[in-house]
Amino acid sequence: MFVGNCPVTVGSMKSYDATALNEANPEAIWAILTDAPGLSRWDLGIDRVDGRIAPGETIKVFSQVSPGRAFPVEVKDFTPGRGMRWSGGMPLGPSFKQFASGLKREGEARSRVS
């Protein structure tokens, strides 16, 4: 495949899944997941996020993969307290092409995050 006059090799996309059971209700976890300025406190791959994490919004993710460079990401499939999906990132390189988060209540004060 070529982009302009440059040959480009496109490999298979890697994906990662994780699930955790937390001693917190979904509302508390949702507040953490949608706090753009606070994401870098717990996500070690993110330097900062500019913008508002809300349906249809485009946020800018500054990653440790490429310091100082912003990756535009659109917030999609946003269901408060249940889950969201981000889509976008840097073409033809390290990216945040998809980020999905789901929440499920597990008892009175526990939640499963996936």
Instruction: Please report, for the chain, the start and end positions of each structural domain, with discontinuous segments joined by +.
Output: 43-101
Burial (0-12, 13-18, 19+ Cβ within 10 Å), 4: exposed
User: With the C-alpha atoms ordered 99, 75, 114, 33, is the resulting torsion angle positive or negative?
Assistant: positive
Q: What pLDDT shows up at residue 3?
A: 43
Give CA separation, 5 vs 1, 37, 90, 93, 94, in Å.
10, 40, 19, 18, 21
Residue type, 57: E
Residue 93 banded pLDDT, cuts 50, 70, 90: low
Decide if 13 contacts 102 (C-beta within 8 A).
Answer: no
pLDDT tens digits, residue range 27-86?
Answer: 888 898 899 999 889 888 889 999 999 999 999 989 888 888 888 888 988 888 888 888
